[in-house]
Amino acid sequence: MLMEDVLKHPTRVLSNRQREQFVEEGCLVVEDVADEKWLKRLNQAMQDMVDASREITESDDRFILEEGHGPETPRLRRLSSPVTHHETFWEFASQSKSADVAADLCGPDVKFYHSKLNFKWPKGGHKFDWHQDIPAWPHTDYSPVTVGLYLDDCTSEQGPLLGIRGSHKPPMHSMYDKDRNWTLRIPEEDLPSGWQDDVVELKGPAGSAVIINCRVIHGSAANASDRMRPILLNVYSSADSMPYMANPIPNPYEGAIVRGKPARFSCHDPRGCELPPDWSGGYVGPWQHQSR
Ligand SMILES: O=C(O)CCC(=O)C(=O)O
């Protein structure tokens, strides 16, 4: 659904001001999207998965490991598709305020796409280069939205997400380098002058959601603190927005309607999208591409 049509519907959980800010800036932090009860369940589910990773020695399609990972010292970059591996994550994605937030930003009929749980381990937890998400998973419109939930407090030292306000509006950057390697990375020299003034730190207490428009330029710094920074990222779109390339993180819930009803017609934004490599043979995660 195009934003002009989304705006014809009243919001469920966001204020009109918050929605206007998202439309203008392309990113937003909303506190209290998960209450204490959800946080307790989600943190337990996360701990179960961290424990399951202790026996893993190489990254696979479930865990992306960070250097130094071992049975006694788990260090993860990502749990891919948490909704596939623990039912609490799917309950949260489909039955909590997270899906209501998505409905306020992509229209009343909301479809689930995929999820990931990104960690930043204390004293390390890699930097994430500036990038735009949608070329990795193009859809027929730009309604897809990521609702990222901080499972613990996130301060400036822990490497919060950073967004560049308003960067979802101009034509998009290429996610390939000049030799046509997919890098999912925008070199800082390619950003418009004065971009630093528009950087916003998307941080907040546990239970806050960081909401990212699929075109907005974002990234994050390394974790300089001695606290972990887990963020649960759920991607939704309006029901009439159709993905047309393989999902890099395939999962049994792709296409599930989590609010409203299924679409009868597809929605098409006239602005085309750069295409990613073919992920159907497997996806290694963004860090490997960015390190090129
Ligand atoms: O985990 C992070 O810090 C950044 C995540 C991100 O930008 C992404 O998954 O697209």
Q: Which atom of ligand 1 is the closest one to the Cα of 159? A: 3
Residue span of the structural domain in which 254 resides: 3-290
Mean predicted lDDT score pLDDT of the chain: 96
Q: What is the CATH number of the domain that holds 26?
A: 2.60.120.620
CA dihedral 40, 41, 46, 49 (to 10 degrees): 140
Mutate which of 183, 202, 233 to test ligand 1's pocket (most atoms within 8 Å of Cβ)? 233
Q: Which atom of ligand 1 is the closest one to the Cα of 219? A: 7
Residue 171: exposure state from Cβ atoms within 10 A (0-12, 13-18, ≥19): exposed
Question: What type of residue sits at position 6?
Answer: V
pLDDT grade for 125, boundaries at 50, 70 and 90: confident
Handedness of CA 78, 80, 85, 90 (dihedral sign): positive
Q: Model-level pTM?
A: 0.97
> Tens of pLDDT along 88-104?
999 999 999 999 999 99
Q: From ligand 1's centre to the CA of 29, what distance in Å?
A: 15
pLDDT in the model for residue 123: 81
Query: Which two tokens mark 114?
Result: 């995929």
Question: Atom 3 of ligand 1 has which residue's CA nearest to it?
Answer: 220
pLDDT in the model for residue 280: 86
Q: Report how many domains make up the chain.
A: 1
pLDDT of residue 291 exceeding 80: no
Q: Report the distance separating Cα 78 and Cα 158, nearest Å.
A: 16
pLDDT in the model for residue 70: 93
Nearest residue to 221 (alpha-carbon basis) of 118, 289, 115, 120: 120
Q: Which atom of ligand 1 is the closest one to the Cα of 160? A: 3
Query: What element of type H or E holds 129?
Result: strand 128-131
Judged by DSSP in three states, 236 sits in strand
